[in-house]
Amino acid sequence: MLAMPILKELKQTRPFSSATQEATVALLRTADLVNRLIDAVIERHGITGQQYNVLRILRGAGDQGLPTLEIAERMIEQTPGITRLIDRLESKKLVARERCATDRRQVFCRITPAGLALLGKLDEPVRAAGDDALRPLGKKDVAQLIELLDRTREGINATLKLEVKS
């Protein structure tokens, strides 16, 4: 199967000004498509992709839970509205919150048994959607993709840290 170039997929008539611009557009388009594929699975269960991400983070944190701001730092997609996100999950009885006994400003969030049950239902369909997304790639291609994406994020994170310090 021959891949469709991003120019053709976007019905763009003029070439990109550089290979890096083309790669950036292709990466953004691919990320959007993968996101839509996985969101289609998740949203059938009444939650959003970001809510699913919060639940996965809290499941990984175990019984001790995590402070709200630490959840925000671990999100795949950064969101300024973490409190509202957790409000929605709490209203669905998927997350419970509790103020820290030693620091009343800090709120700990924990996944509830209902949240764990929902994740249990979603684990296999989400894994399958991820497999479907990368099915055209072989094992070596996937390993190379991971390495390239890791290096890209590392460079971007270093740039962002420099900008914050300036």
Q: Are residues 118 and 52 in the same domain?
A: yes
Please report whether residue 106 resides in a domain: yes
Edge-to-edge strand list for the sheet holding 107-111: 66-67, 107-111, 95-99
The pair of structure tokens assigned to 118 is: 């929902």
- Does residue 27 fall inside a structural domain? no
Whether 125 is in a domain gets the answer yes
In a domain, residue 159? The reply is yes
Q: Are residues 72 and 142 in the same domain?
A: no
Residue 70 in tokens = 């630490």
Q: Are residues 129 and 144 in the same domain?
A: no
| CATH code at position 111 | 1.10.10.10
Same domain, 90 and 58: yes
Per-residue pLDDT of the chain (166 residues; tens, 9 = 90+): 556 688 888 888 888 899 999 999 999 999 999 999 999 999 999 999 999 999 999 999 998 899 988 999 999 988 888 999 999 999 999 999 987 777 767 789 999 999 999 999 999 999 999 999 999 999 999 999 999 999 999 999 888 887 766 5
10 in a domain, yes or no? Answer: no
* Residue 150 domain boundaries: 137-166
pTM metric for this prediction: 0.85
Any domain includes 11: no
CB 109 within 8 A of CB 97: yes
Q: CB-based contacts of 1: which residues, under 8 Å, 6+ apart?
A: 136
Q: How many domains does one find in the chain?
A: 2
